[in-house]
């Protein structure tokens, strides 16, 4: 299907330049000297929300900051010569918060691309007012907390919008001991009103997000854009291996029950088994030995495991295979082991219709040379994981040269951003055409 978007290339190129310039501008709003760090409910969060609100108002959007500190801009649907303030909205969003010493595009580029799509699709209706001639309204949401940097809990902003806020989160504290409740009050938000941030499914047509890929897949394939099929979710475990602490000099090898060696072999088993299953990725990111002295054979070892896959079933089968391997390893070494699951969430599948319109948008943008664009799953978490509870989710990835992310070297090119803007704007028009038919 041909592209539906009629926009001249100069207009798209200048939209991409504006996205790049604004990524630079937002990067200067930071709590970290010489780097980028912008966390939930901080003075920097307030400043980027004010900037985003200003940019939204320039486009003729109605703006508000919701009860969880998310910044929202809305272009109403045009019906006849009027605006319909109550029409369900297609949400285009991503997040403005960052990890410590972050790059400048993760999340941020997606919000700014959303604003450029609003700019391309808006139409004046007189009195300086703008709307969209579509069967739905367009909302751009800049989510306030995706990374979970400050309170150790990710997706706080989008969880509030999805109505998934849990009461026990109020007691979460940051590194300075400030509770989430206290931080709300200091930011000027009322914890008692958090429920007002929640949206009903019937208010939403769907959710689209453009995000830089946080891996090298597109770069390796020589492609600028991809359709995202699903957002993988991790299962996380804390594992403990128990052996016997003894004198490092006096204990011969045949008497040792070295817990650290058992844990090390387990970490290698994670790598081996996950490499055999190319859709599964497992990481041991923490490993500690106890009592932790240079002259004692470790009597206990603790390590973490993060396991992700495109499909929950595959991921769970890998965990089962791993447990059998661990039984064998520990049995051979005279060790005991146990695991506690600390996190388990289902993968979010992108809706088939939204995958379709994103694919049509990418084909129309010409980034795949007219061929079928790549379809990849996201190994990283995104706001769509919580929004999936109330709306269909679709995502588009932009090439990230070298694939590095959560790092100052994170990158995306202006020409790929231009392709992304064109593709996602066209996706919106395909969705509109689908809803009209």
104-112, 202-210, 255-263, 309-317 -> range binding Zn ion (CB under 5 A): 104-112
Phi/psi at 112 (5° precision): -70, -35
Query: What is the nearest approach in angstroms of Zn ion to the Cβ of residue 110?
Result: 7
For Zn ion, what does the binding mask look like between residues 153 and 182, x meaning CB under 5 A? Answer: ------------------------------
The C-alpha atoms of residue 275 and residue 270 are separated, in whole angstroms, by 8
100-108, 159-167, 281-289, 318-326 -> range binding Zn ion (CB under 5 A): 100-108
**What DSSP line would sit under 79-138, residue for residue?**
ETTEEETTS-EEEEEEE----TT--S-TTHHHHHHHHHHHHHH-EEEETTEEEB-SSSEE
42-50, 107-115, 168-176, 390-398 -> range binding Zn ion (CB under 5 A): 107-115
Query: What is the nearest approach in angstroms of Zn ion to the Cβ of residue 147?
Result: 7
Nearest position to Zn ion, beta carbon: 107
Q: Which of 76, 106, 265, 300 binds Zn ion (CB under 5 A)?
A: 106
Give whichever of 107 and 361 is closer to Zn ion, judged by the CB atom: 107
The C-alpha atoms of residue 72 and residue 96 are separated, in whole angstroms, by 12
Contact between 133 and 436 under an 8 Å Cβ cutoff? The reply is no
Beta bridge partners of 206: 90
Per-state percent for the chain, helix, strand, coil, to nearest 5: 40, 25, 35
- Tokens linked to 173: 């504290």
Which residues inside 225-284 make contact with Zn ion, applying CB under 5 A? Answer: none
Query: What is the nearest approach in angstroms of Zn ion to the Cβ of residue 111?
Result: 10
The C-alpha atoms of residue 300 and residue 263 are separated, in whole angstroms, by 9
Give whichever of 120 and 350 is closer to Zn ion, judged by the CB atom: 350
Query: What is the nearest approach in angstroms of Zn ion to the Cβ of residue 209?
Result: 9
Query: What is the nearest approach in angstroms of Zn ion to the Cβ of residue 212?
Result: 8
85-93, 105-113, 309-317, 369-377 -> range binding Zn ion (CB under 5 A): 105-113
Query: What is the nearest approach in angstroms of Zn ion to the Cβ of residue 261?
Result: 38
Give whichever of 205 and 398 is closer to Zn ion, judged by the CB atom: 398
Query: What is the nearest approach in angstroms of Zn ion to the Cβ of residue 383?
Result: 8
| Binding status of residue 107 toward Zn ion by CB under 5 A | yes
Give whichever of 107 and 262 is closer to Zn ion, judged by the CB atom: 107
Give the torsion through C-alpha atoms of 135, 136, 138, 141, to 10 deg: -150
Query: What is the nearest approach in angstroms of Zn ion to the Cβ of residue 292?
Result: 35
| Binding status of residue 410 toward Zn ion by CB under 5 A | no
At 416, which helix (H) or strand (E)? helix 414-436
- Report the length, in residues, of the chain: 437
| Binding status of residue 209 toward Zn ion by CB under 5 A | no
Query: How many residues belong to the site for Zn ion (CB under 5 A)?
Result: 2
In Å, how far are 94, 98, 153, 221, 357 from 143, measured between CA atoms? Answer: 6, 11, 14, 31, 23
Give whichever of 73 and 107 is closer to Zn ion, judged by the CB atom: 107
The residue among 119, 107, 168 whose CA lies nearest residue 12 is: 119
Contact between 406 and 361 under an 8 Å Cβ cutoff? The reply is no
Query: What is the nearest approach in angstroms of Zn ion to the Cβ of residue 94?
Result: 6
Query: What is the nearest approach in angstroms of Zn ion to the Cβ of residue 35?
Result: 17
Give whichever of 159 and 264 is closer to Zn ion, judged by the CB atom: 159
Tokens 């969209």 label which residue? 132
Phi/psi at 141 (5° precision): -115, 125
The C-alpha atoms of residue 23 and residue 230 are separated, in whole angstroms, by 26
36-44, 99-107, 192-200, 356-364 -> range binding Zn ion (CB under 5 A): 99-107
103-111, 241-249, 310-318, 393-401 -> range binding Zn ion (CB under 5 A): 103-111
Query: What is the nearest approach in angstroms of Zn ion to the Cβ of residue 427?
Result: 19
Cβ of 77: how many Cβ atoms within 10 Å?
Answer: 22
The C-alpha atoms of residue 222 and residue 91 are separated, in whole angstroms, by 29
Binding site for Zn ion (CB under 5 A): 106-107
């Amino acid at each position: 299907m041909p592209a539906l978007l009629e926009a001249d290339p100069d207009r798209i190129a200048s939209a991409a330049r504006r996205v790049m310039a604004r990524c630079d501008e937002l990067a200067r709003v930071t709590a970290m000297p010489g780097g980028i760090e912008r966390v939930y409910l901080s003075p920097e969060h307030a400043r980027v929300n004010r900037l985003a609100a200003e940019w939204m108002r320039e486009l003729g959007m109605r703006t508000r900051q919701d009860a969880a500190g998310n910044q929202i801009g809305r272009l109403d649907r045009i019906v006849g010569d009027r605006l319909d303030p109550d029409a369900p909205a297609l949400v285009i969003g991503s997040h403005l918060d960052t990890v410590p010493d972050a790059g400048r595009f993760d999340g941020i580029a997606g919000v700014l691309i959303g604003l450029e799509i609003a700019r391309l699709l808006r139409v004046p209706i007189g009195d300086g007012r703008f709307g969209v001639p579509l069967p739905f309204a367009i909302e751009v949401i800049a989510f306030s907390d995706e990374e979970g940097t400050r309170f150790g809990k990710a997706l706080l902003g989008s969880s509030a919008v999805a109505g998934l806020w849990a009461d026990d989160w109020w007691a979460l504290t940051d590194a300075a001991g400030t509770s989430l409740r206290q931080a709300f009050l200091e930011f000027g938000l009322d914890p008692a009103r958090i429920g007002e941030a929640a949206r009903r499914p019937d208010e939403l047509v769907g959710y689209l997000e453009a995000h830089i890929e946080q891996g090298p897949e597109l770069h390796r394939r020589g492609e600028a854009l991809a359709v995202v099929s699903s957002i993988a979710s991790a299962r996380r475990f804390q594992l403990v291996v128990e052996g016997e602490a003894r004198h490092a000099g006096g204990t011969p090898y045949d008497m040792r029950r070295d817990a650290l060696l058992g844990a090390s072999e387990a970490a290698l088993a994670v790598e081996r088994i996950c490499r055999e299953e190319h859709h599964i990725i497992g990481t041991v990111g923490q490993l500690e030995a106890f009592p932790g002295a240079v002259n004692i054979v470790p009597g206990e070892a603790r390590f973490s495991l993060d396991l992700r896959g495109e499909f929950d079933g595959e991921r769970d089968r890998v965990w089962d295979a791993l447990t059998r391997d661990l039984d064998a390893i520990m049995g051979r070494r005279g060790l005991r082991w146990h695991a506690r699951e600390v996190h388990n969430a289902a993968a979010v599948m992108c809706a088939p219709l939204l995958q379709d319109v994103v694919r049509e948008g990418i084909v129309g943008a010409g980034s795949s040379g007219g061929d079928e664009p790549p379809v990849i799953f996201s190994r990283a978490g995104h706001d769509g994981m919580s929004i999936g509870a109330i709306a269909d989710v679709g995502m588009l990835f932009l090439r990230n040269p070298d694939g590095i992310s959560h790092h100052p070297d994170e990158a995306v090119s202006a020409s790929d951003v231009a392709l992304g803007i064109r593709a996602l704007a066209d996706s919106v028009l395909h969705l509109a055409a689908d809803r009209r038919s």
